[in-house]
Structure 1
């Protein structure tokens, strides 16, 4: 999913480059040109995107095959008893037969891990979208290598933050799959984002090369958890064991998590507008504090995953020791 979620950063890069390319015609075109592409994408989605698997001939993912067959048999038996259909003919299954109602909003919030990850994403997107919206302005207002760059050059250079974000999303997904520990991975990336932002603020103005390297490193650690939570974590929680196989909760859980994060995405750039008047150091303090809070919000999940890993390691170790001791037991019994 980290690879799939790269489309988010690709869209950010494309939008920034498109907006920067039309700056010569006026600031207004930086909104009109991307808006035209959004309208075109909306038409394509409306015409060609299938909303449900069954719309293109696939079985409904919400109903297990065994349940579908059972419902079919029940419907056919009832129809035959009433003389509606002849024996051997298949009766149509009514849509929604035997299917549970959709999970409610409150019920979805009660799924273990939904709220901690939702509030973690709030602060993660607060940091990520502050960079997305304010980084071009920051670059144009900061002396880098002894000179200032134009607004157009700053817009083009800022896209490298999302290049690092693509790598971070893929890396976070790969690590979490290998470790089977979503919270540990997300929290570790958020904690690592704090020193990366500090280094970028202190040393990013030394040279353009240094700025690019540190910017991409910061993008890697900032966008990594954001990509992980909006994809793999949402899918895991949306199919949690407490739902008893009702996969329709996936959309509700994703909406709760990503919706909470979007509030942070709106709040971060807004606060930056006020804090930037007091200096960029104040802005970076806010961003580092947000990353710290995002990591701390996952503390309970991190502890639970560590305990789970520790218990599994202890069980495997004890099992290995028992297998090493067991061959000697027949010899002891023979000696007796």
Structure 2
């Protein structure tokens, strides 16, 4: 089996440039444990940056619609998007008076529709992102998703300086941002799963999964700190942050042990083969041909995997509550008029702790 632990010459191209640079500095190949540490750190901050950009909207809502008198839901055919509501035409376009078309009596409904559009495209995109991620280099796929997320998050904020007041502009930007956001979770989970075996995966994933809270807290701090300079900065800075992290992913993320020629002395595949040989099994379940491991799983087949359906429904109800707080609690708290933005930030941080 020693030959299996050698990296074929024709596969060396998949090793990220950052990994090559580290090995050049070290004058030796990085160990398997070093690669694991890099994977955990890079994916942690990568997905934290996804949540940082996602959290911005809930903080800025109170700047876009600070004095909406109607907090109820309206149907799309009852709303006029192309012109600012009558109540907002006498207001200025600066922080404190809101931003048309969100600062009118129907501002809350418009903001709600932005959330619905974003999350709908995000949910749909998760399905396709999972399929595409199984068929593409995850490092490239994740980089494109992060840079795209940064671009369209920044474009939302650019509406502040460009004085854009068309609802459709923000709607389209949010929908495309949701599509790029959907590349994050399937990709980082797949990469981490390839580097950590089942024995320690629970502990590792438990610690690593703190990236959501870290990202939400970071996004809240950045957005709140920049609101006084103009709400556009609250989008542009997180957008630049995730784009930068996308470049870090491109240069440093090894998507699998095989892609960088990193192997442990006693990995799980070898131990499984050894145990099967001792039991007289002539055909190991995990053969030398990795084609079966690389085969993508279809939608129906995924639902047939034991535990997928219960986990999906549990996550559905957990996210239902989480996203209600994530997107709307800071907004409604800020409308109580009690220390508005300070209370908004404190409540948001407490939720994610």
TM-score by length of 1: 0.49
TM-score, reference length from structure 2: 0.47
The answer to which structure has the higher helix fraction is 1
Flag the structure with more relative contact order, 1 or 2, with Cα contacts below 8 A and sequence separation at least 6.
2
